[in-house]
Structure 1
Amino acid sequence: MCTGGLTSLQRDVLRCEMELQNLRQGRSRAIRDRLGLSAVRYEQILRSLVGVPDAVAFAPDVMHRVERRLHSQEPRDPRAQK
């Protein structure tokens, strides 16, 4: 597993996401307690790792789930639905 390209914060965010993946309530609080980050900043870091080979190698399940979630949230062009 090659993680040389990830910062310690990025690795911590990925580990945290692995642990919190099924937590719905109290997620923001858990993120703040564990990492000292707001939920918004945490999500920004996660999104920035989509497509980063080292992140995919470190946490493939997390990165695939985040990528699927991002693609499902993309607004669709109404002109494309003809």
Structure 2
Amino acid sequence: MILEVAQLPVKAGEEAEFEAAFAEAEKIISAQPGFLSHELVRGADADNGSQYVLLVRWETVAAHQEGFRSSADYQAWRELL
């Protein structure tokens, strides 16, 4: 198992929109071969919106890098977020 850690900055006032988009994006990532689980955590920066951290557990590095990140699904996922 590997753990991917992605920092996702969101502008102040756009948190609800981001979370709605993530609800759609998580359907894409969770359907990928080698995906195990994920967790989205929100932190706040009083002067600069919110900082989200996405933790994704994959079976292997290849499932993440060569599978998901090389797929058309990855592009759709990025567009949502």
TM-score, length-scaled by structure 1: 0.29
Which structure is higher in helix share? 1
Which structure is higher in strand share? 2
Q: Which structure would you say has the larger Rg? A: 1
TM-score, length-scaled by structure 2: 0.29
